Amino acid sequence: MKQENNKNTTIENVSNTDNTPIIEVIDARKIYKVGNEKVLALDGVSFTINKGDFCCLLGSSGSGKSTLLNIMAGIEKITSGQVFIKGQEVTKMGENKLAKFRQKYLGFVFQAYNLVNSLTAQENVEMPMIFKEIPSKKRAAKAREMLIKVGLKERIKHKPSQMSGGQQQRVGIARAFVADPEVVFADEPTGNLDSKTSEEIMDIIKQMAKDKNQTIVMVTHDPTMTRYANKVIEIHDGKLISIKEGEIH
């Protein structure tokens, strides 16, 4: 059961220890209305994720895994159940509090990159720091540092249209990690990439998370991607099928 003592903690004072799950999902249910019909996308899913875990949500198309990730991240509303991140109930937050919480603690890597086409790589990476009101010189320096770290030293001033898919995803990774989030949600981050580039991207994500003991929650339909994870949660038809745990390598 969820520990009660952290539920009313303010965002500014939230803390987490390695002995406490950083994420708890309790009896999550999601029902969509399609015309006159109701579609059960998630059916009572419960699990925990610890700080520093690399967790894969594995399932085929339509299994409910992306819905689950979106609910965990507060992007979609839950029908019933609870999601806690760092002891705070994300599923009960209003939009303003949720936006501040995401800016403070969460990062995102998307399958479609979600870069702003009119901005350079550096400007795209700076965006999360703008919301945190980090001064412009510090933003620029940190964005350049992150782009160099992901192997894009020569592409700092390039726009997305001047980069390959793999390079754009590296920009997406730099943007996700630049503000030092405690949890990074990744939705099929290699779905649009070839196998060699996919491996390079996954190696970058894993190393960056390992360097700062950050938690990764990644959606994938590809069982081969689970080799990067120490925790694999398999979803099928909205139900939790299995949870497999191992060591972080």
Given a contact cutoff of 8 angstroms between Cβ atoms, the answer to whether 168 and 113 are in contact is: yes
Average pLDDT rounded to a whole number, residues 177-198: 94
Query: Is 112 a domain residue?
Result: yes
**pTM of the predicted model as reported, rounded to 2 decimal places:** 0.88
The CATH number of residue 206's host domain is: 3.40.50.300
Predicted local confidence at residue 249, as pLDDT:
56
Q: In the structure, what pLDDT confidence band is assigned to residue 131 with cuts at 50, 70 and 90?
A: confident
In the chain, the number of structural domains is 1
Predicted local confidence at residue 8, as pLDDT:
38
Average pLDDT rounded to a whole number, residues 193-198: 93
Query: Is 227 a domain residue?
Result: yes
Q: In the structure, what pLDDT confidence band is assigned to residue 248 with cuts at 50, 70 and 90?
A: low
Query: Is 2 a domain residue?
Result: no
Strands laid side by side in the 21-34 sheet: 37-50, 21-34, 80-85, 88-89
Query: Is 21 a domain residue?
Result: no
Average model confidence (pLDDT) across the chain: 90
Query: Is 19 a domain residue?
Result: no
For 12-46, what is each residue's pLDDT tens digit? 444 444 557 999 999 999 999 988 999 999 999 99
Predicted local confidence at residue 2, as pLDDT:
39
Residue 216 has pLDDT above 90, yes or no: yes
**Domain range for 100:** 52-77+92-244
Query: Is 148 a domain residue?
Result: yes
Query: Is 213 a domain residue?
Result: yes
Query: Is 40 a domain residue?
Result: no
